[in-house]
Amino acid sequence: MKPGSLFSLTNEDKTIFMDYVTDTHPIVWYFTEDPRLSVTALQVFEGTIKEGIIIVPAIVLAEIMFIAKRGKISLGFEDTLKKIQEYENIDIAPLDVDTLKGAHKIEVDLEMHDKLIVATAICFNATLITKDHFLRNSGICPTIW
């Protein structure tokens, strides 16, 4: 997976296909068909089946593992990994030195997991799928909800 692999504009409907990074709740809600997932986010997840990619930061998987063990979500860690393997348009981004360097440069006061998710979006030149109002209003990276 190469950072910044933006896809082109289609001629028919003028839709721009690109890469996306997902925050924790959107991927969980997509996999569990939870109605809390916004229509726009659902369209992005479904749209990347044809073209584009959803990038799941490793820290998102760690958060899923943590909140699943606490019983806060119905989707377990192993089930999440199986679901990701079922989709050709969903990839896992490792937590590597480039992501850490990117997170270190972010001046906005964020929780560590949010900083790493945003840094992943920046490293991959991707749009972040998030419901988090603070992240959406921060202007750190492009977001959709």
Domains and CATH numbers, the chain: 19-144 (3.40.50.1010)
d(CA 107, CA 78): 34
CA 20 to chain centroid, in Å, comes to: 6
Q: Rounded to two decimals, what is the model's pTM?
A: 0.86
List, for residues 43-80, the tens digit of each pLDDT value. 999 999 999 999 999 999 999 999 999 999 999 999 99
What does each C-alpha distance from 26 to 23, 34, 89, 130 come to in angstroms?
Answer: 6, 9, 15, 7
